[in-house]
Amino acid sequence: MKRQFGHRARLALTPAQVSVLDGQAHAARTTWNLLHDWWLMLPKAKRTLAAADAVIRRGRKDLPWLGVLPAQAAQAVLKNYFQAWKNCWEGRAHAPEFKARFRTRMSIDIPQGRDLQVVRVHRRWGVVNIPKLGRVKFRWTKDLPIGKGAGKTNRITGARLVKDALGWHIAFRISVLEQAPAPHPGPEVGIDAGITIPLALSDGTTAEHGPWLSRKEQARLLAYGQRAARRETHRTKGEPISGRLHKTYDQIARIRATAKRRRDDWQHQTTTAIATTYGTVVVEALPITNMTRSAKGTLERPGKNVAQKAGLNRAILGEAWGRTVELLAYKLAHRGGTLAEVPAPGTSQECSVCHTITPGSRRSQAEFVCNNPACGWEGNADHNAARTTLHRYRTGHALVPAAGRAVVRRASHAAKPATAR
């Protein structure tokens, strides 16, 4: 079985190396924009891959500042641009757009894995070769298929350099050949996602976490936000953003990126433990987009409790329930397990013992008391919802979309996200 996945690692760069990569990333973004303008100006009959390739080659020759981008990275821009149009024509995405300087994530493709020449230096660090930059150290947190021990079928097929608020990272693309996983012998479990308790399992256990930011970090984030608001008030509409305001925005982005990284780490560790322990995991099919819509309303019919709803929306989005399900899907598939989704309405009001819905059974966020006179069961509300979720799966209520394919994710061996561990 061929398995393709990714691994992301932090690069240790000097200020001079950061400047070189920044220049390459801006050249890649500009190449995209020039290619986009050329595409829109030409008639459809002349929009061919060969003509676009000739334009890029001529542009790199005529404009020296475009030549800082390696030739293979420029070809990767062309390939990605044509793929973006293909995704648009097939209805999977919108049409490609102009990439603005400050709203676009800076990235550089290295399409050939043989150019990387990855070597492990010691337990914590490795070295990778980056075109037009040289040998660069990166943080070694996962064994990569390098050297004679990897074999001919396991290899690094390429990489992408990505810059976020915390610096430059490298995302390796890895392809390995391995045995198909045997069916997971673990038990079944239902999961209820929440805010007070992030994940409550039907067997009575929970997966919880503390605040993503410390009190000092939260105070700094608030102070930077207030500073940015003050500086924004002194900027005339249409005037370029000052360097000081950009610096404040960068400080805010770094703190938010730190919180996101801590959340990702918790999600990876938690989902790995669940996928290793259980053979079948059942979750609710939550309509997160609908759940996090604004309550502002319209001028004719203004909404109520808008501020409270906005806080609830931030809390829901901060837990990233959708990403947790995605991580569970591919980790369970890799271990031979199954992920199933069941309808979400009523799981928090239905009793997990008598399976009846009675008004007022959920007394509070954590207390559930069945109002059915023949039952009267009492227990934790989150665990009750998790057991109800598992019961719906066992009684054949797994969701089936219109195409007729059940939403039961078995060993599909889909590609793993670049941040996977």
The answer to whether 396 touches 380, Cβ cutoff 8 Å, is no
The CA-atom distances, in angstroms, between 216 and each of 104, 150, 211, 219 are 30, 45, 12, 5
- The pLDDT confidence band at residue 400, using thresholds 50, 70 and 90, is low
Mean pLDDT of the chain: 87
Whether the pLDDT of residue 125 is over 90: the answer is yes
The answer to whether 68 touches 23, Cβ cutoff 8 Å, is yes
How confident is the model over 351-381, as pLDDT tens digits? 888 888 887 888 777 888 888 888 888 888 8
How confident is the model over 257-282, as pLDDT tens digits? 999 999 999 999 999 999 999 999 99
> 287 in helix, strand or coil?
coil
Whether the pLDDT of residue 416 is over 50: the answer is no
Q: What percent of the chain has pLDDT over 70?
A: 95
d(CA 276, CA 334): 10
d(CA 21, CA 109): 11
d(CA 73, CA 63): 16
Backbone angles phi, psi at 26, to 5 degrees: -65, -35
**Alpha carbon of residue 166 to chain centroid:** 16
Whether the pLDDT of residue 410 is over 80: the answer is no
- The pLDDT confidence band at residue 101, using thresholds 50, 70 and 90, is confident
Residue with tokens 């995209």: 32
d(CA 140, CA 84): 32
- pLDDT of 275 reads 94
Bridge partners, 167 (sequence order): 164
- pLDDT of 233 reads 87
State the first-to-last Cα distance of the chain, in angstroms, to the nearest integer.
19
Backbone angles phi, psi at 109, to 5 degrees: -90, 140
Residues 6+ apart with CB under 8 A from 379: 352, 368
Residues 6+ apart with CB under 8 A from 131: 70, 72, 73, 110, 115
Residues 6+ apart with CB under 8 A from 44: none
> 133 in helix, strand or coil?
coil
The CA-atom distances, in angstroms, between 106 and each of 22, 160, 283, 330 are 8, 10, 35, 27
Would you give the DSSP letter of residue 150? G
How confident is the model over 203-231, as pLDDT tens digits? 989 999 999 999 999 999 999 999 999 99
Whether the pLDDT of residue 160 is over 90: the answer is yes
Per DSSP, which regions of 84-242 are E strands?
107-110, 119-120, 125-130, 134-139, 155-164, 167-177, 188-193, 199-201, 206-207
d(CA 29, CA 187): 49
